Amino acid sequence: MQKINIYIITGFVLIAGLFYGIHFFQSSNSDLAVRISKNNEVIATYALDENRIQKFAFDDGYNTVEIKDGHVQVTESDCPNQICVNSPQIDQPGEVIACLPHHFIVEIIQNEK
């Protein structure tokens, strides 16, 4: 009888932990934002959980940023080296994608509420 109770309690704790973990990971992206800067000036901030494609065009060129499913990446640029386009997508605070020829920075930050 005691073994059955231990199994029931353990199962309940595991299920509760699973639901908490799912809630934590679903809500964590809503606390994050994508900050985009050009020449050290913030030009846009978007929620990381907001799917969008945004093209930023300037006199010296353009960069296209895609936010999708809690990740962000630079999908297009007319810079010569394409390092920003070939950078992996980012999704954690402090991660950065830089396009140095355009002085264009994409970074993940804590959402300012």
Task: Give CA–CA dist 13/10, Å, rounded.
Answer: 5
Buried/exposed code over 17-29 (b: 16+ C-beta within 10 A; e: otherwise): eeeeeeeeeeeeb
Neighbouring residues of 70: CB distance < 8 A, sequence distance ≥ 6: 29, 32, 48, 49, 91
pLDDT score of 15: 72
The low-confidence residues of the chain, meaning pLDDT below 50, are: 27
Superfamily of domain 32-110: N-utilization substance G protein NusG, insert domain (2.60.320.10)
pTM comes to 0.73
